[in-house]
């Protein structure tokens, strides 16, 4: 039985990854696998015992059937590597009740959320391998079936209640963000933008979703110092507060900001080459009034719906760099290790771009944050012809990862 399960699961994986190659265990050159059902034992002319009937079949057709392919409870047998002539003879053998060619199957269970599909993520060659994405948020659900790439984390604010670790998620927000970035390509749940990226949880927000700038600064200090083996780092911050950009229009200026939060963001991006992606905010306001969205060193993301339109609540303005899916987004949730939830916000748009940054860095690990941003903007889709019923100006292009 073991071999059958292995062959099927490999095919499932192959189907999910849209690879045309067939695993050698499943189908060897020139041969085809069949599933045979033997004539029921009731037949008076045939031996009663399954093993005896199989032995007779093996002798008659020159077969040698391994133990794991003899499925006695089902009166069935898996026959591998048959030539067309062998299959024809077997089909005509009165001891064989049914002979059906094996067939590739794939799991129906994994859903590709509309946003992941809309930006073209399933078509990319890069999957985010070799890149670390730090979710600076409410934590990430530890042990979630679709977040098996969660490597560890750090808690500034500790998880309370049902928690496996201090950076476990007692809210759900961070788990949802993490799933959009990198939910793994398996047979369950959803698919993230960069399913081969590794996730790190940086818990700076409490179970109620609140935190402080000082907590974020502590979290970013950990990210900078964290030894991830030298892999490129991406930070997603689907959070913000009120504030303005003291150096608007300047990207990594040599004279650094005297605002402590902005100064820390500049150090992360300009000195430590960490790509920082942030939500524009949900106030229906100019993002210039919200930080970190207003800072020019980050990639600021507005939210769109599946009709290629912006909701009125998405923040807007010159500080917004990219639009990405953020309305009715299905992703992982923290209620259990098998939970999923559909929610909306620029918080949900930002991780699409963070995943996209991981795709870029997966292919070009030496890119600076400025080069990552440029690559994303160059590849982005023009929104000039979009309807935009939001009532707010949205000239920013839409995230597109096709070709990465
Ligand atoms: Ca999945
Ligand atoms: Ca700015
Ligand atoms: Ca910006």
109-113, 123-127, 136-140, range with the lowest pLDDT: 109-113
Beta bridge partners of 202: 136, 154
C-alpha distances in Å from residue 54, one per residue of 33, 34, 70, 82: 17, 15, 8, 16
Among 60, 61, 39, smallest CA distance to 50 is for 39
Average pLDDT over residues 240-247: 94
- What's the CA gap between 275 and 112, in Å, rounded? 26
Q: How many Å lie between the centroid of ligand 1 and the Cα of residue 27?
A: 27
Ligand nearest to C-alpha 278: 3
Tens digit of each residue's pLDDT (9 = 90 or more) over 352-400: 999 999 999 999 999 999 999 999 999 999 999 999 999 999 999 999 9
Parse the chain into domains and list their residue ranges. Answer: 2-101, 114-379
pLDDT, residue 151, reads 98
- What's the CA gap between 390 and 404, in Å, rounded? 30
**In a 3-state reduction of DSSP, which class is residue 83?**
coil
Beta bridge partners of 233: 132
Q: How many Å lie between the centroid of ligand 3 and the Cα of residue 297?
A: 7
Ion ligand 1 — residues with CB under 5 Å?
A: 110, 146, 183, 186, 189
Ligand nearest to C-alpha 12: 1
Q: Does domain 114-379 have CATH number 3.20.20.10?
A: no
CA-CA-CA-CA dihedral for 320, 167, 242, 377, to nearest 10: -10
25-34, 132-141, 305-314, 362-371, range with the lowest pLDDT: 25-34
Rounded (5°) CA angle 226-229-233: 60
The model's confidence at residue 26, banded by pLDDT at 50, 70 and 90, is very low
Q: Is the pLDDT of residue 41 over 80?
A: no
Q: How many Å lie between the centroid of ligand 3 and the Cα of residue 60?
A: 75
**In a 3-state reduction of DSSP, which class is residue 62?**
coil
Q: How many Å lie between the centroid of ligand 2 and the Cα of residue 288?
A: 6
Please identify which residue in the block is written with the tokens 């946003």.
115
Ligand nearest to C-alpha 291: 2
State both tokens at 9.
């699961």
Q: How many Å lie between the centroid of ligand 3 and the Cα of residue 47?
A: 78
Taking a C-beta distance cutoff of 8 angstroms, is the pair 278, 300 a contact? Answer: yes
Ligand nearest to C-alpha 316: 3
**Those residues with Cβ within 8 angstroms of residue 259's Cβ, 6 or more apart along the chain or in another chain:** 243, 246
Average pLDDT over residues 53-77: 91
Q: How many Å lie between the centroid of ligand 1 and the Cα of residue 28?
A: 29
Q: What percent of the chain has pLDDT over 90?
A: 81
Active site residues: 137, 173, 347
């Amino acid at each position: 039985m073991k071999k059958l399960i292995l062959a099927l699961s490999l095919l499932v994986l192959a189907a999910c990854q849209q690879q045309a190659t067939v695993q050698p265990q499943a189908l060897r050159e020139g041969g085809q696998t069949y599933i045979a059902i033997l004539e029921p034992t009731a037949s008076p002319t045939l031996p009663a015992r399954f093993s005896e009937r199989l032995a007779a079949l093996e002798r008659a057709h020159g077969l040698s059937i391994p133990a794991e392919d003899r499925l006695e409870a089902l009166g069935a047998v898996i026959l591998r590597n048959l030539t067309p002539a062998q299959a024809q003879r077997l089909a005509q053998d009165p001891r064989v009740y049914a002979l059906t060619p094996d067939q590739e199957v794939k799991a129906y269970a994994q859903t590709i959320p509309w946003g992941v599909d809309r930006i073209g993520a399933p078509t990319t060659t890069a999957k985010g391998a070799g890149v670390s994405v730090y979710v600076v948020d409410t934590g990430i659900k530890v042990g979630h079936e679709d977040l098996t790439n969660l490597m560890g984390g750090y808690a500034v604010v500790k998880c309370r209640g049902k928690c496996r670790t201090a950076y476990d998620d007692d809210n759900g927000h961070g788990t949802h963000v993490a799933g959009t970035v990198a939910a793994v390509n398996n047979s369950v749940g959803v698919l993230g933008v960069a399913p081969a990226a590794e996730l790190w949880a940086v818990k700076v927000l409490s179970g109620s979703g609140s935190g402080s700038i000082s907590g974020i600064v502590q979290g970013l200090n950990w990210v900078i110092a964290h030894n991830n083996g030298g892999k490129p780092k991406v930070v997603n911050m689907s959070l913000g507060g009120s504030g303005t950009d003291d150096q608007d229009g300047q990207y990594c200026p040599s004279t650094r900001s005297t605002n402590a939060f902005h100064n820390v963001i500049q150090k992360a991006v300009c000195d430590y080459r960490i790509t920082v992606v942030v939500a524009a905010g949900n106030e229906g306001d100019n993002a210039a009034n919200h930080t970190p969205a207003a800072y020019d060193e980050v990639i600021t993301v507005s939210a769109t719906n599946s009709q290629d339109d912006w909701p009125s609540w998405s923040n807007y303005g010159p500080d917004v760099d990219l639009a990405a899916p953020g309305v009715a987004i299905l992703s992982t949730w923290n209620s259990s290790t098998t939970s999923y939830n559909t929610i909306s916000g620029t918080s949900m748009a930002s991780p699409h771009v963070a995943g996209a940054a991981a795709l870029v860095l997966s292919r070009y690990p030496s890119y600076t944050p400025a080069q990552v941003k440029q690559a994303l903007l160059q590849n982005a889709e023009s929104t000039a012809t979009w309807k935009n019923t939001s009532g707010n100006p949205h000239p920013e292009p839409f995230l597109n990862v096709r070709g990465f």
